[in-house]
Each structure stands twice: as structure tokens, then as C-alpha cells.
Copies of this chain bind each other. A is one copy, B any other.
Amino acid sequence: MVTGKGTTAAGEGRGGRPTLEMVAARAGVGRGTVSRVVNGSPQVSAQARAAVEAAIAELGYVPNRAARALAADRTDAVALVIPEPETRLGAEPYFLDIVRGVSTELADTDMQLLLTLIRTPRERQRLAQHLEARRVDGVLLVSVHENDPLPSLLERLRVPTVLNGRRSERERMSYVDADNVGGARSAAEHLLGMGRRTVATITGPLDMYVARCRLDGYTQAMNSAGLGGDTSLVAHGDFTEEGGRAAMRALLERHPGIDAVFAASDVMASGALHVLRQSGRRVPEDVALVGFDDSAVARHADPPLTSVGQPTEEMGRTMARVLLEEIESRTGVRRHVVLSTELVLRGSA
């Protein structure tokens, strides 16, 4: 008699969990049929399907994910990869909203969501290793830098990937991005529409595509209004509050009569707001101010900041959807989705 690892002849699954085989026995069919039912194959007679479904319900059968992964060479898991430095920068709820969206979309699948924070080179190394070992079926990559080696690695390994944002105007990989240009333009147009004429902008670091886009939108609006070309109205920040402060100080020095500012992030706008206050200017009476992100920072500022909102959760949902598609149809088609933004009016402009 073979004893094996303790499984009784009766076929009690490990830990008492029912197996495919037990379902098959119960339903009076073969393993293949049960597998087909579980995986939604149409090649099953209505009668067999009913019997199997009944057996599944009675036994409380849940497929063993590891066995499935081993046999089918897939993992039913996707990784959400977050390079840490990014999340430090201001918009933290942003991240949570993305997770929310992704999670919502994945809830209907039986895909698992793996969270991977990348802070140290070591963690980066480990991630690369995991990817080589194909421990996930796909990757969602949040806010990539232009020079990040990760996207290329993913492309080389042919791991289905969706980026949140793009690295440049000619991004090849699948991505989901907000309409940063349009959002910035609408912000500037709003300021111009209020009758403001000395409309400045505080940019993000221009080696980031998103920052260039927001500057572009501003520039477009200024040009359309016939007010373009004055580069002294452009101050450079780095998406931090302190950067916003410094930029605002520089702007005030160059243009004491400034009457409106579009900051490329709420956090920078918040810094600018403090400097404006310190200089004795009132917001929005003397200087109107618009931020970008529609974050908690904007809501809690005093006055609350008018800001360009991104459909963050929707972006998360879209990313997940695109990724699932890409995993499904292994054709390697790439999708590029740009979601529109919305100006949220509050007290500051």
C-alpha cells in the first residue's frame, strides 16, 4: 500500500479542502469536465454542467491557485509597482485612488493584486528577478521617470505592462494618462477669463513629461490670448512645497503686479499661497491661484484651492482593464488612453 504524504485513500484534500477530483467524483463526471465547467468552456452539456455546479456548491470547492498556476503556467496575479520617490511627492491620496480603481476592476476577475514598493536598488533588483521568473502575469507601473530602466526591462521580457502616465510624447508601451495639456490650458484660460492679465505659472521639473505637458497647456492658453512669449512669467519648481515657495518669490520679484498664478501641482500652489500671504497679497482678490491634482491639500488650504482634477480612480480602473486585455489577447497590441481633466472651482480663483 502506498502511503504518500498522509492523504487517506478516501481522498480528503489537504487541510480538508475539496479538490477537482472530489468534485468530479461527486458529480459523477471526469476531471476534465469539472475543469471545463470551472473555466467556463462551452464544450460541456447542460446536464453535466448542472451536476458539476451542484457538486461545487455542496463541497464549497475553490480551485487551488498554486496548482492552476503550475499547470497552466500563469499566475493570475498582477503587480502594482510604485517607485517610492514618486509617492513622497505630494499627492498621496492619488496613489490610493489608483489602487481603488485597480482593485474595483480586478474584483470581477480572480486576479490578485500584488503591491510592490520600490525604494532601494535591492528592491529593484528583486523585482527584476521576480519578473524574470514570471511571478506575475502583468504589471501596472505608476508614474515612471523618463530614464527609468524598468519599462524597457518589462518590454524586453514581454511582460504585459500598462504605465500610468507616459515617458514622452512618443510612448510606445500601453499607458493611461490624464490630459495634462488640456487641464493646464483650462486652468490658464479660467484665470484669463476672470480678466487677469499677468498670469504666471510655476512648473514642475521639466525633465518630467507631465511637467512639460502642463507648461504646454499654459503656454497654449497664453498664446491664444495674445499674451504669450513672456518667459519671465514662467518659474520652475520641483513639485514640492518649498519649490513652490521659491518659485513664487522669484515671480513676485520679477512681477510685483502679478494677478494670477497657475501652479502645476497643489503642493506647489500651497507653497505659493503662503508666500503670497506673507507678501500681504490677498487670494483671490489680488492674485488668483489655481493648482493641479485636486488633492486633499487643495481642499484643506485656506482659501481652498481651485484645482485641475484628474479622474484618478477612473485611471486606475482603465489601467486594470487595459492590462487584462493585454494579458488575454497575447497579440501585443498597445493601447494609449488619455482621460480628460476637470477644473474644480473653489475659493482661490
Contact = CB atoms under 8 A, between A and B. Distances in A.
Interface stretch (A194-202, A249-257, A293-301, A338-346): A293-301
Contacts of A87: 96
A14 B133 CA distance: 11
A75 interface: yes
A122 B134 contact: no
Contacts of A103: 115-117
Nearest to A158: B15
A213 B69 CA distance: 46
A172 interface: no
B60 A132 contact: yes
Given A64-B70, A92-B296, 10 more contacts: A14-B73, A15-B134, A65-B133, A67-B70, A107-B126, A112-B135, A113-B114, A114-B114, A300-B300, A300-B301
Q: Range of interface residues on chain A? A: 35 or more
The listed residue with most B CB atoms (<10 A of its CB), out of A66, A70, A116, is A66
A92 B65 CA distance: 32
A282 interface: no
Nearest to A15: B134
B117 A300 contact: no
A175 to B, nearest CB: 22
24 contacts: A15-B73, A15-B134, A60-B132, A65-B133, A66-B67, A66-B70, A70-B70, A80-B115, A87-B96, A92-B92, A92-B93, A92-B296, A93-B93, A96-B96, A103-B116, A103-B117, A107-B120, A107-B123, A107-B126, A112-B114, A113-B116, A270-B300, A296-B296, A296-B297
